[in-house]
Amino acid sequence: MTRPRQVILEAAFSDQGDHFTAEELFEKAKKIDTNASLATLYRTVSLLVQGGLLHEIDLGKGVTSYDPNFIESPHHNHLICVDCSEVIEFEDQHISVLEDCITKRLGFSPASKSIQIKAKCDKLRQTGACAKLN
């Protein structure tokens, strides 16, 4: 456990727990310690992903995003607002069960599951504004 790794851990997990890309995490890390290095960051993130502390997720940005919240809520999924790009985490027992059924029906055993829902903000439609826009 070295200083550079501590910095990256802090940047990844001490926050309110938002998703981030490598570049965004790098920005956070530099605020903690100016010396932060991208190479070490990629290497550390890779270890965290392997260790299950961080999940790679595809938020449709064309870049890999990382999700630090699977420790607290291991079964959550993501809804992405196509208007404001906000990402909302949700969990649903019924869907999990259904996914397991489908998997077994197809002759497999579940390993991991992920759902992304892209959706439009009702609030924006109704009021012309939504949480993140403006």
Mutual angle of helices 3-13 and 22-32, in 10-degree steps: 120
109 binds a copy of itself (CB under 8 A): yes
User: Among residues 34 and 50, whose Cβ is nearest to a copy of itself?
Assistant: 50
106 binds a copy of itself (CB under 8 A): yes
Nearest-5° Cα angle at 118, 58 to 130:
115
Amino acid at 28: K
φ, ψ of residue 2 in degrees (nearest 5): -105, 165
Euclidean distance between CA atoms 1 and 123, whole angstroms: 46
118 binds a copy of itself (CB under 8 A): yes
Euclidean distance between CA atoms 41 and 64, whole angstroms: 14
Give the one entry of a copy of itself, DNA, none that residue 39 binds, where binding means its C-beta sits below a cut-off of 5 to 8 angstroms depending on kind: DNA
8 Å CB contact between 31 and 20: no
122 binds a copy of itself (CB under 8 A): yes
CB of residue 30 vs a copy of itself: minimum separation in angstroms?
A: 26
Interface residues with DNA (CB under 7 A) are 1-5, 21-23, 35-40, 42-44, 46, 62-64
CB of residue 123 vs a copy of itself: minimum separation in angstroms?
A: 6
Q: Applying CB under 8 A, which residues contact a copy of itself?
A: 58, 79, 81-82, 88, 90, 92, 94-95, 98-99, 102-103, 106-123, 125
